[in-house]
Homo-oligomer: A and B are copies of this chain.
Amino acid sequence: MTSLTQWNAVILIEWGRAFHDQYDIIDKHTQSGLELVEKYVKFVKERTEIEQNYAKQLRNLTKKYNPKRGCKEEQECRFSNHQSFLDILNEMNDYAGQRELIAENMMMNICIEITKYLQELKMERKTHLSEAKKAQQSLESTYKQLDCSKKRFEREWREADKAAQYAEKTDQDINATKADVEKAKQQANMRTHIAEECKNDYAAQLQKYNKEQSQFYFSDMPLIFNKLQDMDERRVRKLAQGYVLFSDTERHVMPIIGKCLEGVTKAGTNVNERNDSIALIEQYKSGFERPGDLDFEDYSQGINRASSDSSLGTLGTPKGPLELLGKNRSKPFWLFSKKSKVGCYFPPMKEWIS
């Protein structure tokens, strides 16, 4: 025999001991529990849709900014500041892939998994509740039988009572014959005998009912309520696991997402402005020498008469007035050294104005 405190401890944790006339409460409670699970699955499903949509938008963004094959942007990848932008686009694309993974894993490990379990729980609950109804209905039908046999007992005693009074009256009637008195007493005894039988039947029915009622309240219903409690606790455990998975799914990809972000940082630190300046030099540095000074073209040292319309860049053969006049021959044109290259320089300069 357990002590009172132990007994209370037991009562406190078992529905079968705590409830006996609260069937509807347990019905509602287990129902709303299953509804919470359905609601949570729906919530997670909608989160995965948001996640998918987010990932899709990120993918489209990176696609939009990725250069077409062989276009100008692609050629500019020799410059680190252009190349790093492409690296960032690639990291963003991987990032989007991780968000998709979150959505897929939530769908698989939470929505599908819990929905399957939910169907099993719904079936189990239905079974327990119908068992309870069956037990209750059988108790009620036994009660009806009891009520009938009790009413019959009451009716028959009333008849026996009348018969007894008639027998007494006849016995005291001076005009009644011995035969009349005997007949009335026999009638009364017969009625009393029938009533006694009804009384015994009622007693048996009552005994049967009380046995069933006790079985119902102390054994059948507690067992069913405990089964429903166990089912509800398994539901809660499963739901709690689903809650934890909701964050674990995302935490699982956090390191890879972290790697993507590191990749972006790396792309940023890989940029080297000086190297980019040099890359431009490597590609385009001029083949030309800087132009030297223009030469002095000394017509006085001899002019080609044909080239009377000459301009810079033409040279005559030495014959000119100074020679004829025999003047200034000694004067050194110290500031002019080599042939004019003026023809070479101006094409580029023309471009500048255009």
User: From A283, which residue of chain B is reached at the shortest CB distance?
Assistant: B25
CB <8 Å contact, A140 and B349: yes
CB <8 Å contact, A244 and B262: no
A85 to B196, CA, bound (A): 66
**Chain A residues within CB distance 8 Å of chain B:** 11-13, 15, 18-26, 29, 32-33, 36, 39-40, 43, 46-47, 50, 53-54, 57-58, 61, 64-65, 72, 76, 80-82, 84-85, 88, 92, 132-133, 136-137, 139-140, 146-147, 150-151, 153-155, 157-158, 160-161, 164-165, 168, 188, 192, 195-196, 199, 202-203, 206-207, 209-210, 213-214, 217-218, 229, 232-237, 239-248, 250-251, 254, 258, 261-265, 267-269, 271, 273-274, 276-278, 280-281, 284-286, 288, 290-291, 293-294, 296-300, 303, 305, 308, 310-312, 320-322, 324-325, 327-328, 333, 335-336, 345, 348-349, 351-353
Please, which residues of chain B bring their CB within 8 A of the CB of A280? 15, 25-26, 29
User: From A342, which residue of chain B is reached at the shortest CB distance?
Assistant: B143
Interface centre among A12, A20, A132, A214 (most CB of B within 10 A): A20
Chosen A-B contacts, 6 in total, with CB atoms closer than 8 Å, are A18-B281, A195-B321, A199-B300, A206-B294, A232-B276, A244-B268
Q: A21-B348, A300-B157 are in contact. Are A50 and B46 (CB under 8 A)?
A: no
A97 to B324, CA, bound (A): 98
User: From A211, which residue of chain B is reached at the shortest CB distance?
Assistant: B293
Q: A24-B351, A321-B161 are in contact. Are A247 and B269 (CB under 8 A)?
A: no
User: From A267, which residue of chain B is reached at the shortest CB distance?
Assistant: B243
The contact of A239 among B13, B81, B300, by CB within 8 Å, is B81
A201 to B106, CA, bound (A): 90
Please, which residues of chain B bring their CB within 8 A of the CB of A199? 298-300
Q: A150-B297, A236-B273, A247-B262 are in contact. Are A61 and B40 (CB under 8 A)?
A: no
A39 to B276, CA, bound (A): 18
- Assembly stoichiometry (copies): 2
CB <8 Å contact, A244 and B265: yes
Please, which residues of chain B bring their CB within 8 A of the CB of A43? 61, 65, 85
User: From A81, which residue of chain B is reached at the shortest CB distance?
Assistant: B236
**A21 CB to nearest chain B CB (Å):** 4
